[in-house]
């Protein structure tokens, strides 16, 4: 896991000062060293977090015919791919260069992992100079581009493109902003920054002469395999795929651990890691003492003890919330107003004291049908419930202008999901995998961990696991009013102490409770913050922060996050101090 950036100009060599600014802005992603390549019209930079081949794996990496690569992430099957290759390093990112020499863009189909790659192909008399950008099919690793007269610039984070001058003046795009307010994340390729877009999950771009000339996409799931309907066969397939995935995701030359919530997905990971490791697994759990939120630490403690894990409990307090939220908002440059960013940030801060790699359970709900909204989508007409039809601010009369186009990105994803075919459940899963998963859950994990120099790995989001998941019949995913039925069934045999069929209590963070305690003082400050004043009526915002309802508290949280995010990423304010320090200081 690292930070990558660079550009291809229409002709002249890239400005070294631009490359300096790009790599400097990504320094937190790679505290273990920096690298650079300039050739022809292409410049590449790399900020390294050393995980595999600590001494020899420095980037850029050089391959046949003068090709050069910088990469962010891990190619987990690099050992299997490297047979017969004359490799100069033990890096997991070197085999793709040799595959490119053999297969061209077809090399992407061989890769199993999480990655954002940039390859400079200098060309020859028969073919032009190229820059190739590729992102993994689930969108685990981020990648952004900015196109213009300068050519095409790219980076692991949009804030690096802004720092290098490609997104200035900073302008917030209205439709993505409305999505953020209504959904807590944004959809599709367009980001909230005008002129900066995402490379989509599974997308490969070919750039020539400083312009994008082709784009292809690789799907994270396939529906081509025969269906799995027999419970025994399905359980065996799930165990084989997950065991192999966890084994591959543990490949590292540095210490690793895992996040344990005590829920289904993290308990599956712990059970498999305990089988595969000779030493006790290091497991980190967050809890919220003294609040009304469900505290998972007691159950996680029991599960950890049953697996012989070393259990580290991290208390997330109201003081932590007020002290750290500005820094967290600063890290979330591609914003997601997901309150789980708070415990994720604090868990990463604690984990960095002991490890450089964390395995986490993201993706289990999306692949195996865990969300209650899927059960609503499965109901027969006319009782089926559409996904995400209501926005956070609908009916609250807080915004100066009611969002009118905030579902257009979701509507496009719904069309694509329907085109892919399958049951209503499968369409709902594909919809979440298109945007909610990469642009909220995975973005949160990436930014919160990388801010502390920790690599996050997600074994559920593996091609072999996804193949099993999308071969399952609906009945093996949802049964008896519960999602992830097959996963629960497996866990009931492998780790019964996890109580997988017990009613789900849900994960929540008591941000509403904390905000309510100081709402009278906080509301006017948020209302007066320039980003919020532009979009919401001050008196309505102040009233919102005093309101007792659950919906109102979530809307208040969203505006607080947006106020802090806007101050850092639009106005350029240095986030010094806690929430009240930032909101009372001049932008």
Q: Of all residues in the chain, what percent carry a pLDDT higher than 70?
A: 99
Indicate whether 210 pLDDT > 90: yes
pLDDT value of residue 224: 62
245 near 367, Cβ under 8 Å?
Answer: no
Q: Which residue, 191, 170, 169, 150, is CA-closest to 18?
A: 150
The continuous run of DSSP H or E covering 156 comes out as none
For residues 9-26, average pLDDT: 96
What's the confidence (pLDDT) of residue 223?
65
Q: What pLDDT sits at residue 262?
A: 86
Phi then psi for residue 194, to 5 deg, are -60, 130
Q: Tell me how far apart the alpha carbons of residues 204 and 108 are, in angstroms, rounded to a whole number.
A: 8
What is the bridge-based pairing of β-strands 130-135 and 113-121? Answer: antiparallel
Which residue spans within 17-67 are E strands per DSSP? 34-39, 42-48, 61-62
94-108, 213-227, 571-585: which range is least confident on average?
213-227
Residue with token string 């312009």: 211
- Integer Cα distance of 487 and 580 in angstroms: 44
Question: Which residue, among 509, 515, 535, 495, has the nearest Cα to 580 in the 3D structure?
Answer: 515
What pLDDT digit, counting tens, does each position of 308-336 carry? Answer: 999 999 999 999 999 999 999 999 999 99
> N- to C-terminal Cα distance for the chain?
33
Q: What is the mean pLDDT of the chain?
A: 96
Within 8 A by CB and 6+ apart from 500, the residues are 264, 267, 487, 488, 489, 491, 492
Predicted TM-score (pTM) of the model is 0.97
| Percent of the chain's residues with pLDDT above 90 | 92
At 533 the pLDDT is: 97
Given this model, what pLDDT does residue 1 score?
67
Rounded Cα distance, 82 and 376, in Å: 46
Say what the pLDDT of residue 409 is. Answer: 95
* Residue 382: per-residue pLDDT: 82
Tokens of 133: 């950008």
The Cα–Cα gap between 85 and 79 comes to: 10
The three state secondary structure string of 179-208 is: HHHHHCCCCCCECCECCCEECCCCEEEEEE
Q: What is the pLDDT of residue 226?
A: 78
Residue 21 has pLDDT above 70, yes or no: yes
Q: How far is CA 453 from CA 122, 279, 456, in A?
A: 32, 23, 10
Token pair in block for residue 213: 């000339």
Higher pLDDT, 228 or 204: 204
Average pLDDT over residues 550-556: 96
Q: Which tokens is 187 given?
A: 């959809």
What's the mean pLDDT in 337-356? Answer: 98
Residue 222's pLDDT is what?
76
Task: Write the pLDDT tens digit of every residue in 133-155.
Answer: 999 999 999 999 999 999 999 99
180-207 pLDDT per residue, tens:
999 999 999 999 999 999 999 999 999 9
Distances (CA, A) of 51 to 29, 246, 367, 418: 12, 16, 28, 40
Round to whole Å and give the CA distance between 131 and 133: 7
65 contact partners, CB below 8 Å, separation of at least 6: 101, 121, 122, 124
Q: Quick one: angle between helices 550-569 and 174-183, nearest 10?
A: 140
Q: For position 381, what pLDDT does the model report? A: 84
Continuous segment of H or E residues that includes residue 217: strand 211-217
Whether the pLDDT of residue 112 is over 70: the answer is yes
Across 573-579, average pLDDT = 95
Q: Which domains does the chain have, with CATH numbers?
A: 2-217 (3.60.20.10), 231-378+437-498 (3.40.50.620), 511-584 (no CATH)
Residue 480 in this model has a pLDDT that exceeds 70: yes
Max Cα-Cα span within the chain: 70
- Output the pLDDT for position 506: 67
Upper half-sphere CA count for residue 323 (Cβ side, 13 Å):
8
Q: What is the pLDDT of residues 523-536, one digit of tens each?
A: 999 999 999 999 99
């Amino acid at each position: 896991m690292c930070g990558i950036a660079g550009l291809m100009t229409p002709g002249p060599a890239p400005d070294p000062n631009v490359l300096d600014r790009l790599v400097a802005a990504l320094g937190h992603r790679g505290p273990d060293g920096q690298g650079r390549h300039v050739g022809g019209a292409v410049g590449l930079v790399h900020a390294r977090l050393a995980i595999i081949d600590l001494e020899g794996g420095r980037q850029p990496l050089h391959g046949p015919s003068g090709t050069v690569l910088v990469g962010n992430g891990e190619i987990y099957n690099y050992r299997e791919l490297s047979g017969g290759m004359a490799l100069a390093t033990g890096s997991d990112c070197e085999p793709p260069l040799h595959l490119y020499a053999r297969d061209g863009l077809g090399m992407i189909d061989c890769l199993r992992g999480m990655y954002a790659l940039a390859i400079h192909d200098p060309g020859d008399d028969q073919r032009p100079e190229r820059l190739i950008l590729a992102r993994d099919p689930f969108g685990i690793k981020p990648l952004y581009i900015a196109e213009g007269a300068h050519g095409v610039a790219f980076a692991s984070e949009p804030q690096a493109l802004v720092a290098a001058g490609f997104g200035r003046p900073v302008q917030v795009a209205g439709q993505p902003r409305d999505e953020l307010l209504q959904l807590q994340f944004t959809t599709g390729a367009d980001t909230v920054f005008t002129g900066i877009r995402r490379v989509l999950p599974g997308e490969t771009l070919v750039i020539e002469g400083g312009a994008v000339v082709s784009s292809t996409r690789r799907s994270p799931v396939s529906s081509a395999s025969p269906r799995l309907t027999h419970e025994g066969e399905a359980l065996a397939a799930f165990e084989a795929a997950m065991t192999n995935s966890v084994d591959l995701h543990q490949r590292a030359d540095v210490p690793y651990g895992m996040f344990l919530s005590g829920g289904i997905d993290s308990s599956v990971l712990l059970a498999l890691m305990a089988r595969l490791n000779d030493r006790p697994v290091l497991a980190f759990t967050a809890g919220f003492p003294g609040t009304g939120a469900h505290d998972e630490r007691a159950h996680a403690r029991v599960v950890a003890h049953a697996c012989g894990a070393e259990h580290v409990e991290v208390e997330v307090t109201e003081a932590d919330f007020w002290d750290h939220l500005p820094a967290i908002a600063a890290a979330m440059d591609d914003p997601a107003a997901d309150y789980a960013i708070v415990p994720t940030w604090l868990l990463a801060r604690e984990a960095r004291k002991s490890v450089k790699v964390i395995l986490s359970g993201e993706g289990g709900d999306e692949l195996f049908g865990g969300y209650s909204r899927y059960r609503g989508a499965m109901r027969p007409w006319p009782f089926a419930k559409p996904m995400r039809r209501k926005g956070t601010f609908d009916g609250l009369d807080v915004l100066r202008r009611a969002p009118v186009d905030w579902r257009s990105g979701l509507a496009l994803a719904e069309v694509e999901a329907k085109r892919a075919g399958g049951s209503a459940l499968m369409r709902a899963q594909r919809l979440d995998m298109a945007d909610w998963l990469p642009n909220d859950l995975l973005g949160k994990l990436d930014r919160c961990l990388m801010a502390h120099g920790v690599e996050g790995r997600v074994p559920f989001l593996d091609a072999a696991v996804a193949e099993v998941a999308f071969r399952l019949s609906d009945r093996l995913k949802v049964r008896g009013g519960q999602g992830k039925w097959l996963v629960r069934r497996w866990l009931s045999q492998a780790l019964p102490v996890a109580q997988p069929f017990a009613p789900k209590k849900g994960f929540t963070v008591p941000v509403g409770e904390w905000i309510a305690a100081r709402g009278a003082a906080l509301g006017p400050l948020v209302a007066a913050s320039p980003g919020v004043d532009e979009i919401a009526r001050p008196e309505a915002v102040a009233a919102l922060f005093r309101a007792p309802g659950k919906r109102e508290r979530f809307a208040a949280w969203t505006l607080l996050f947006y106020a802090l995010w806007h101050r850092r990423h639009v106005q350029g304010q240095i986030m010094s101090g806690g929430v009240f320090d930032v909101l009372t200081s001049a932008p």
